[in-house]
Amino acid sequence: MTSQWTRDKYYTRAMREGFRARAAYKLLEIQKRHTVIRDDDNVVDLGAAPGSWLQVLKTFTQGTIIGVDLNAIAPMEGVKTIVGDFTTPEVQEEVRGLASGIVSVVTCDASPKLSGATSYDQARAIALGEDALAFAVTILKDGGNFICKSFQGEDFPELYAEVKKHFLSVRTFRPLASRRGSKEIYIVAKNFRRQKDGAEG
């Protein structure tokens, strides 16, 4: 009953305030707590559909905002969108072009389609997080920041450790807007360090 009430509470609020999904409140909480996005940052949001994080990002920065998803995102003033797979070099090059070569922040609130098998779903979520990290490492400027949704499970510490190899500050955060009982958790990483060829950690 409580879980249903929580879901309805944020869904109703999102509809009332004009957000495309309740997930908007998660990013608002993350930014309030960790100040990941600055007012001139160029930001890329991965798995951006339907676009609630893009709506929130517009309130944080005057920089270029780019949403990438396999599905089309309904047009939004002040936001550029790409339909495609962010793991491909073609999409990454398109992102660079739209951002004029400078990406300050990468965000990812994407989830795999859930099967109901907990261990399988968690493994797929970790794999998605690894793909998002690989994208961020490829495209972020030095000193850039990264937010990524993941799910707690036996493989999570490995992903967390991998993120720590590339960022000076890495923390986890669970927004109040997350559904009660959900295993989701956000990795908030700041100050990207581009590794030299052959360098470790």
Phi-psi region for residue 5, left (φ > 0), alpha (ψ -120 to 50) or beta? alpha
Residue whose pair of structure tokens reads 């990290």 in the numeric block: 133
The order of strands in the sheet holding 80-83 is 80-83, 65-69, 43-46, 103-108, 140-151, 184-192, 167-173
Task: Kindly state the DSSP code that residue 127 receives in the 8-state scheme.
Answer: H
183 catalytic residue (yes or no): no
Identify the active-site residue in 149, 165, 190, 196.
Answer: 149
User: Nearest 5°: CA angle at 141, between 66 and 86?
Assistant: 40
Catalytic residue positions?
149
